[in-house]
């Protein structure tokens, strides 16, 4: 049989070896909470508490606390024999600045909006093929002058390809096969989703 003992505002329920405590709330405490709630709302700005306002607060909390975002750095891999073409693509085509400290197996690039990329160079037999890379993640590149960037890419030997699902943007493949979607930007902010 269960034994219930009242101790200092708590109910203690003893069952066999375990003990459970449940805090009891008196009518006086409920009345005090209601008084504080009502007295904190002035008549002129009183708004009813609705299910919608609770949902709005929850969505606001999710917006600021529970969502992740992509960072400003990316890592790419390319066959070592593609190094000159990758440098041309990043610098001449996309306007990146290559960091001058020479690394044997990588190049670092920084772009005007603060984003950066590192390209690691591997043996050709360990790199993805051009077609395999197209099946991987696609990256979006914000560019200030889309037509100028497209001309620069063409001069670097990069041609756009048609992506039938989205015909409103330009898609290009880097020499290593990495796909980039080019989006016109205004003051560093994308103009389209």
In the prediction, which pLDDT does 177 show? Answer: 96
Q: Per DSSP, what are the bridge partners of residue 77?
A: 120
Report DSSP letters for 60-99, one per residue: HHHHHHS-----SEEEEEEEGGGHHHHHHIIIIIT--EE-
In the prediction, which pLDDT does 101 show? Answer: 76
In the prediction, which pLDDT does 191 show? Answer: 46
The structure's pTM equals: 0.62
Report DSSP letters for 26-47, one per residue: -HHHHHHHHHHHHHTS-GGG--
Domain ranges of the chain: 73-190
Q: How far is CA 138 from CA 126, 173, 180, in A?
A: 20, 9, 6
Query: Could you give the CA distance from residue 116 to residue 133 in angstroms, rounded to a whole number?
Result: 20
pLDDT along the chain (193 residues), means of 10: 47 48 39 38 45 52 60 93 96 93 88 92 96 94 91 93 92 96 72 45
193 touches 155 (CB < 8 A):
no
- CATH T-level assignment (fold) for domain 73-190: 2,3-Dihydroxybiphenyl 1,2-Dioxygenase; domain 1 (3.10.180)
């Amino acid at each position: 049989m269960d034994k219930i003992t009242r101790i200092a505002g708590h109910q203690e329920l003893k069952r066999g070896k375990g003990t459970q405590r449940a805090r009891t709330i008196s009518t006086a405490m409920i009345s005090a909470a209601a008084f504080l709630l009502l007295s904190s709302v002035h008549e002129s700005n009183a708004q009813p508490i609705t299910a919608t306002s609770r949902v709005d607060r929850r969505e606001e909390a999710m917006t600021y606390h529970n969502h992740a975002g992509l960072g400003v750095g990316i890592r790419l891999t390319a066959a070592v024999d593609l190094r000159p073409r990758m440098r041309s693509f990043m610098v001449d085509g996309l306007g990146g600045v290559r960091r001058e400290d020479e690394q044997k197996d990588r190049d670092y690039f920084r772009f005007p909006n603060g984003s950066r990329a590192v390209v690691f160079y591997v043996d050709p037999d360990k790199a993805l093929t051009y077609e395999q890379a197209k099946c991987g993640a696609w990256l979006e590149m914000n560019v200030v002058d889309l037509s100028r960037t497209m001309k620069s890419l063409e001069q670097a030997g990069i041609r756009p390809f048609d992506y039938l699902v989205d015909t409103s943007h330009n898609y290009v493949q880097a020499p290593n096969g990495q796909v980039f979607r080019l989006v016109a930007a205004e003051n560093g902010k994308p103009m389209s989703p």
